[in-house]
């Protein structure tokens, strides 16, 4: 970890003897017995020894052994006294450097007793810096982490880095799913340190620090410290407007996937889609681009709004939480009015063109009157999404020519600022034989 390149052998056993499964090379020359857990590191460039052995709990029954065969000579110094041995193994001791002469080679092996440097768990709290609290949170680990050292081949004391794992659950926005979801955070941290800076979480969470990496590699039950629940204040939104579809299929430009636009009166569902925190306050501002000083304000998280008039609009979201703020806007366009009147329909029950309906967009009012050739009124309607089905009083009307008059106003205005008005008239051909 942290760029360290190492190989390790770990044997976990309840029995009195364990050994490493070792590849060819220096590691193949050494093993540990009588210890339930140990790690052997053989990156000489990093540690300046041929083997660095970390043992969890050295006892009198523990042995560090040379496995290369042939004669061997161990030399080591303990409490100022130098010792030597020609046995295949020695009883290791914490902090001791062993010089091993075997097979014409000289090896340096250093030992650390991990049990002498166990972490003493404490508390894990946090603090917010007012200047950056919406972006950064500082964790304050109060934990005793003894300095774990060893002796390298030159006789110098060196300190082993102790890497811990900081874990917690955050919330992240998914563009694919267009939703917030839990995101497991797992970050490496070095202890001791007074403050650990992390991105301000976007959901309430607990923080956990466990480790270190040596305990993890030896399969030990890791000591951990757990914080109280943190109440998130960072706020982020992804506001969205969705056009509410109307049933009439003859209404043109009812919605658009790329923009919030369509036929008026345009009904739009607005969603703030803010990260899951309980302390947020929402403000929405709706205004016409042509008159931005005139606006309507809402304080709902999500709401529905009807745009009555043709034009360009903005819906701005301002979400705040404990001094943090997020601002974003949604553009809305209500299209110009139009009416297109067909001149033939075929009410023969085949599901195709069975009703006389206009194609329309952005109408505020609408009225149609249809008469037969003798001036009798056969249909009256005030909903442009509905049409005449070719019946008079429940009976099928005769084929032939009928006449319509339409009066309507649009949601848009003319050059004089008055609602666009429509007065249309013409003939309709009812043909069942097609």
> Which residues are paired to 142 by β-bridges?
123
* Residue listed under structure tokens 């950056």: 132
Name the H helices within 18-146: 44-47
Q: Does domain 338-430 have CATH number 3.30.70?
A: no
Other beta carbons less than 10 A from residue 131's beta carbon: 8
Average pLDDT, the chain: 90
Q: Does domain 118-148+157-226 have CATH number 2.30.30?
A: no
- Topology of domain 240-334, CATH: Immunoglobulin-like (2.60.40)
Over 90: is that where the pLDDT of 27 sits?
no
> What is the rounded distance in angstroms from the CA atom of residue 401 to the CA atom of residue 413?
34
CA-derived radius of gyration, the chain: 40
Over 90: is that where the pLDDT of 343 sits?
yes
> What is the rounded distance in angstroms from the CA atom of residue 226 to the CA atom of residue 167?
10
| pLDDT, tens digit, 9 for 90 and up, residues 290-300 | 888 899 999 99
| pLDDT, tens digit, 9 for 90 and up, residues 325-335 | 999 999 999 99
Task: Give the pLDDT score at 107.
Answer: 95
Pairing type for strands 63-66 and 196-199 reads unpaired
* Residue listed under structure tokens 């004669």: 71
What percent of the chain has pLDDT above 90? 82
Domain parsing of the chain, residue ranges: 26-116, 118-148+157-226, 240-334, 338-430
Pairing type for strands 363-371 and 377-381 reads antiparallel
User: Apex CA 82: angle with CA 78 and CA 85, to 5°?
Assistant: 100
Using pLDDT thresholds of 50, 70 and 90, give the confidence band for residue 16: very low
How many angstroms separate the Cα of 313 from the Cα of each of 35, 296, 415? 74, 11, 20
Going by C-alpha positions, the residue among 361, 351, 357 that lies closest to residue 370 is 357
* Residue listed under structure tokens 């999500």: 302
> What is the rounded distance in angstroms from the CA atom of residue 337 to the CA atom of residue 252?
10
Task: Give the pLDDT score at 280.
Answer: 92
Task: Give the pLDDT score at 224.
Answer: 87
Over 70: is that where the pLDDT of 11 sits?
no
| pLDDT, tens digit, 9 for 90 and up, residues 43-93 | 999 999 999 999 999 999 999 999 988 899 999 999 889 999 999 999 999
Task: Give the pLDDT score at 1.
Answer: 34
* CB hemisphere CA count around 66 (13 angstroms): 25
User: Apex CA 165: angle with CA 162 and CA 169, to 5°?
Assistant: 165
Highest mean pLDDT among 11-15, 261-265, 402-406: 402-406
Task: Give the pLDDT score at 258.
Answer: 59
> What is the rounded distance in angstroms from the CA atom of residue 251 to the CA atom of residue 255?
10
Task: Give the pLDDT score at 18.
Answer: 36
The answer to whether 290 touches 334, Cβ cutoff 8 Å, is no
| pLDDT, tens digit, 9 for 90 and up, residues 397-419 | 999 999 999 999 999 999 999 99
| pLDDT, tens digit, 9 for 90 and up, residues 359-397 | 999 999 999 999 999 999 999 999 999 999 999 999 999
* Residue listed under structure tokens 């110094």: 77
Structure tokens at 59: 């006892």
- 114 SS3 class: helix
Entry field: residues in the chain: 434
Task: Give the pLDDT score at 14.
Answer: 28
> What is the rounded distance in angstroms from the CA atom of residue 126 to the CA atom of residue 225?
13
| pLDDT, tens digit, 9 for 90 and up, residues 214-230 | 999 999 877 789 999 99
Structure tokens at 359: 């194609």
| pLDDT, tens digit, 9 for 90 and up, residues 88-143 | 999 999 999 999 999 889 999 999 999 999 998 899 999 999 999 999 999 999 99
Task: Give the pLDDT score at 185.
Answer: 98
Average pLDDT on 32-45 reads 93
Structure tokens at 329: 């806007």
Q: Enter the pTM of the model.
A: 0.79
Taking phi over 0 as left and psi of -120 to 50 as alpha, with beta for the rest, 291 belongs to beta
Task: Give the pLDDT score at 28.
Answer: 57
* Residue listed under structure tokens 């003319």: 414
The answer to whether 188 touches 214, Cβ cutoff 8 Å, is no
Structure tokens at 213: 């990496």
Q: Which CATH number fits domain 26-116: 2.60.40, 3.30.70, 3.30.200, 2.160.20?
A: 2.60.40
Matching CATH topology for 240-334 and 338-430? yes
């Amino acid at each position: 970890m942290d760029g360290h390149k190492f190989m390790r052998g770990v044997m976990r056993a309840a029995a009195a003897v364990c050994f490493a499964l070792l590849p060819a090379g220096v590691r193949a020359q050494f093993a540990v017995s009588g210890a339930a857990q140990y790690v052997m590191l053989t990156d000489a460039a990093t540690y300046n020894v041929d083997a660095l052995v970390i043992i969890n709990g050295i006892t009198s029954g523990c042995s560090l052994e040379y496995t290369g065969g042939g004669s061997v000579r161990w030399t080591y110094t303990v409490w100022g006294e130098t010792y030597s041995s020609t046995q295949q193994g020695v009883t290791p001791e914490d902090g001791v450097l062993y010089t091993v002469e075997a097979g014409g080679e000289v090896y340096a092996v250093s030992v650390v007793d991990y049990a002498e440097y166990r972490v003493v768990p404490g508390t894990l709290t946090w603090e917010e810096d007012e200047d950056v609290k919406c972006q950064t949170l500082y964790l304050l680990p109060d934990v005793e982490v003894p300095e774990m050292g060893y002796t390298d081949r030159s006789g110098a004391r060196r300190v082993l880095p102790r890497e811990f794992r900081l874990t917690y659950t955050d919330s992240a926005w998914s563009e694919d799913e267009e939703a917030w979801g839990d995101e497991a955070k797992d970050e490496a941290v070095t202890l001791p340190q007074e403050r650990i800076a992390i991105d301000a979480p976007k959901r309430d969470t607990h923080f956990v620090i466990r480790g270190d990496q040596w305990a993890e590699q030896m399969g030990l039950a890791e000591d951990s410290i757990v914080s109280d629940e943190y109440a998130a204040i960072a706020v982020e939104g992804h506001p969205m407007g969705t056009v509410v579809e109307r049933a009439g299929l003859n209404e043109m430009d009812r919605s658009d996937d790329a923009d919030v636009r369509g036929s008026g009166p345009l009904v739009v569902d607005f969603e703030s889609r803010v990260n899951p925190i309980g302390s947020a306050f929402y403000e929405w501002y709706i205004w016409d681009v042509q008159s931005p000083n005139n606006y309507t304000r809402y304080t709902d998280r999500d709401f529905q709004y009807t745009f009555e008039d043709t034009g360009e609009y903005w819906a701005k979201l301002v979400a705040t939480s404990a001094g943090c703020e997020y601002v974003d806007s949604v553009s809305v366009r209500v299209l110009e009015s139009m009416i297109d009147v067909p001149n033939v329909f075929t009410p023969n029950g085949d599901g195709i063109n069975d009703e006389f309906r206009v194609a329309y967009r952005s109408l505020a009012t609408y009225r149609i009157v249809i008469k037969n050739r003798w001036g009798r009124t056969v249909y009256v309607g005030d909903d442009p999404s509905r049409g005449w089905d070719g019946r008079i009083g429940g009976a099928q009307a005769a084929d032939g020519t009928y006449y319509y008059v339409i009066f309507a106003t649009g949601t848009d205005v003319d050059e004089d600022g008055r609602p666009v008005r429509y007065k249309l008239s013409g003939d309709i051909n009812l043909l069942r034989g097609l």
